[in-house]
Structure 1
């Protein structure tokens, strides 16, 4: 019996049509450019346009795995397995909560959060199995970098001029959800949110994308290609990070920076440190007091009201975890303002998804970081090696950030995180072509 094989990807590169990379790039644009406060009309619950794209991704991925003609990778993938385990643990927690009695409000929230989780899993699977080849991975990541630069511009306008240019932005078929302002204030300084739902989210998104932008800037410089466009993108993304005036993105970027600096060559380290000094000097000139305000967030941490508020909830969290230690009380059933805010995704997942939920969440992010670093070790191409390191650094921001804010409460950060998880799996496949699923 003969075996039908899909046509080679390389042979189709010149005439390639829309694929998983095209879909993922479209998701990035919608996720990051469309304001997070806009949701689709006519639905009984809040669903953003990006989340709707994620639900369509589930359908595409499922159909693609029923045939060999849609270009989806088949066979074993460690990242895809981690996504499966995360989804199974999520469903097990939901099933346990649904079997027991839930208040109508809690059941409605559990259903809502479940739909969003399905969309995130869908975009991760499409990125993992539908993005085939380095050129397609670059397409998605470069789209994320350019979109991050646009966010930096929007955040800069909000911070410097106290003008939310997204306030009057409307899209046909959408409506505004809530009245959360895009510009907050701390110690007399604005805190910008750009198109995201909160300044913390804006800052974390910038810190996740900045290592990728640095990769393309250094790669262009070392290859002798035009580098100015990528330098501008790096500057705008870094500016967006400081315009958020938040602690979480700085902590995440510090962790990513340690990983990058420990593997970069000495010359690149010097260039990066010089660029950092110049950037901070420009920020001090254009936004006096901002650098000092951010540094002040780390002074006297033992008496910080924000930290005391977060740690005071540990007792409440432990009591809730003890009631349902394995599978939790159900995702979406712990809902402010009826319940306290933990500002810690690991604690929230332990309460809602149990210890199994925490294990699969950490396993998902850890497996993706391992896959990116594994691709770095296996590849003989220096650019691919650098990309693996940068992607691992971006995912490390998420791993650290989950301890300082609620990742799943913010659509943009969670969407970028799951997309990068899938791209880590796609990158590993490109450098290990003997894996099952690689086309001959």
Structure 2
């Protein structure tokens, strides 16, 4: 019998079929490079291309768990459990809101909210169970760093030249939402959003990506590999953070520094301190007055109108929470301009999803953080331990940032957060089960262990590695 002819395009070394990591990388590219204000035309609610990829990831994950041939990981995983608990809590609050009376506009927003929950949970589950192996996880995270650097370039063009490249990234079949423009102003300086929905979101996103970029930069240097490209990416991401002119960005990078410095060796701390100081000097020379504006954001807290606006609506929040303390009034039903904006995701979660929703929302971040730190304890590989520390630093940023703005109202930072949570789960699984060695048969006294006869060729129906 003649062997089947393999096309030359499939016989090339290094060529592999698409998997969960491929889907996660596609999500990263769409999430970071397609403007967050660009949504599908003709859809009754705002749906971004990244949301569509997330919905496909949810469908892929569901189908993958019905078979053993699509490469999804099986077995218990704390990150998957936390994501499942969060999804169930959102379904409960959605059902509670729909069972009572809601104005048509709020009911439409609740429908929109549950669709977005499926998309974000889908990408988290897809990353957790679909990224198999350290090599594939590195592929996704390196893609994230490169895309973050590209966003930094777009933000630099907006800040320095007041040129908004996102206006020219419109795709056929899409439209821009009537949200805030990408270029705003604060204290005579521009503050820009890059491809995200708001400068605050840009700053938080850059703060989240920074520890991953530094992980690959320091890792390449320690292995004696070319590292300049990763340092350039780190600098561009840092520039995007600075050009956001955001207080939340400073808080985010501060907690990132605290986590990284606590886990890094002394030599790396010194290099990081010197590099950070040099970066600030370059920023001061290149953009006079920028550092002074950042300093003023914290020295004038008592007279800052944005701080006063964030705290004036607490009485309204207390009343709303008291009306529906456990499951809230419905996800997405508290929206502007109909209602006051709560620039605090924890308060907004209490209002919309109640205590159950707040606990599960916080729980997914805490579980992802625990998984990343657990990797540091289980692994003896310095590179894996450092990656666990980097992912932990990423997840601390949204935990802190959720107290300074309504995080779930912004698509880019929400999608990125769920992706990183899933990545932490994938890293934990790979660390716990790096690979099972083939056990040799044990011969008992007086018994002969049967061994299969040698074959002239490979088995007729070999199972792929991911199905073992």
TM-score interval (norm. to shorter): over 0.9
Residue of structure 2 in register with 1:6 after alignment:
none
Give the secondary structure class of the aligned counterpart of 2:408. Answer: helix
Give the secondary structure class of the aligned counterpart of 1:185. Answer: strand
The CA deviation at 1:438 is 8.6
**Which of 301-310 and 148-157 deviates more?**
301-310
Q: 1:206 to 1:325 in 2, by over 3 A?
A: same
CA distance in 2, matches of 1:132, 1:168: 36
Question: Contact conserved, 1:72 with 1:130, CA < 8 A, in 2?
Answer: yes
Question: Is 1:44 matched with 2:44?
Answer: yes
Instruction: Count residues in correspondence.
Output: 428
- Provide, for residues 119-157 of structure 1, a one-character-per-residue CA deviation record: whole Å limited to 9, x for no partner: 000000000000000001101100000000000000001
Residue of structure 1 in register with 2:6 after alignment:
none
Question: Contact conserved, 2:69 with 2:467, CA < 8 A, in 1?
Answer: no
CA distance in 2, matches of 1:44, 1:268: 51
Residue of structure 1 in register with 2:118 after alignment:
118
Residue of structure 1 in register with 2:170 after alignment:
170
Question: Contact conserved, 1:429 with 1:438, CA < 8 A, in 2?
Answer: no
CA distance in 2, matches of 1:384, 1:113: 36
Residue of structure 2 in register with 1:3 after alignment:
none
CA distance in 1, matches of 2:390, 2:167: 34
Question: Contact conserved, 1:74 with 1:438, CA < 8 A, in 2?
Answer: no
Question: Is 1:404 matched with 2:404?
Answer: yes
**Which of 384-393 and 178-187 deviates more?**
178-187
So what's the TM-score if we normalise by structure 1?
A: 0.95
The CA deviation at 1:51 is 0.3
Residue of structure 1 in register with 2:242 after alignment:
242
Aligned CA RMSD, in angstroms, stands at 1.5
Give the secondary structure class of the aligned counterpart of 1:39. Answer: strand
CA distance in 2, matches of 1:59, 1:439: 19
CA distance in 1, matches of 2:312, 2:273: 38
CA distance in 2, matches of 1:374, 1:14: 32
Question: Contact conserved, 2:71 with 2:466, CA < 8 A, in 1?
Answer: no
CA distance in 1, matches of 2:123, 2:411: 13
- Provide, for residues 211-263 of structure 1, a one-character-per-residue CA deviation record: whole Å limited to 9, x for no partner: 00000000000000001000000000000000000000110111111011011
CA distance in 2, matches of 1:439, 1:176: 43
What residue ranges of structure 2 are gaps of 5+ in the alignment? 1-12, 437-464
CA distance in 2, matches of 1:428, 1:254: 26
Question: Contact conserved, 2:159 with 2:190, CA < 8 A, in 1?
Answer: yes
Question: Is 1:226 matched with 2:237?
Answer: no
* 1:84-123 mapped onto 2 (5 Å cutoff): 84-123=84-123
Residue of structure 2 in register with 1:136 after alignment:
136
The CA deviation at 1:287 is 0.6
The CA deviation at 1:175 is 1.4
Give the secondary structure class of the aligned counterpart of 2:184. Answer: strand
Question: Contact conserved, 1:75 with 1:435, CA < 8 A, in 2?
Answer: no
Give the secondary structure class of the aligned counterpart of 2:405. Answer: coil
